[in-house]
Structure 1
Amino acid sequence: MQSAEFHRNSLPLALRSYSSAVGRMERTVLLPSLLRDVPADEEPARDLYGDYLMLKAVRSAVESGLAHPEDNGSKVPVDRALPDLEPESLLRFHLSGLFAVVSQLTRRSHRLTQKYLDIIGISN
């Protein structure tokens, strides 16, 4: 099987980077309970322990394919203009959004890992 080379802004590379960042986070964070009550940078009401659990759950869902097209449990209202777009434009729109979300989650995973290392007194 031939290995694929991905463009730096490709979705497969972004997903691979995210999975790698969460894997590093899991290998680094040996005591996740130390993250309880440590505020997250983005959301003051949330702690890093909640972020840790969320980042792991998202990676699990992405890697195992838990999101099925038949799932209608979480319908999100779609802007009326989107269905009128050509399929290629619609795909680009959704890929752009997905890429942005995966990139944001990857950055959060890196920050959480670094914060944990700071908490236990290890500088990276």
Structure 2
Amino acid sequence: MRDEVRKNTTPRTVIIGGKAFATYTNAQRIVKLVNDVGAVVNTDPQVNNYLKVVFVPNYNVSVVEMLIPGSELSQHISTSGMEASGTSNMKFSLNGCLIIGTLDGANVEIREEIGDENFFLSGATAKSRF
């Protein structure tokens, strides 16, 4: 049965981009975790034909110019009310990506423009945290 399910599975690539400043220990740990998970997934012969995990270091404008046009889903998660999601999420939205995100930064404006039904809210809002 498992082979039948796999035959009908669409292969996916998960691309995670980011930066971690030298003093941001938790971000560095997340980058390491992503790379470690990618190493396991990408070398597992039962999985690697169906799923790839890629970490893009030094995520910047030049990189997104290549990534965004081929993207189907954009997930920008940050601590609600504490960090901005950034404007690259707007670029993903303009290119037809489904958006999953916290309600902060540019995501607030995106949600207002595309409507609640087209924005998949993840996590608590800043108001509900207090």
TM-score (norm 2): 0.27
- Identify the structure with the greater helix proportion: 1
- Identify the structure with the greater strand proportion: 2
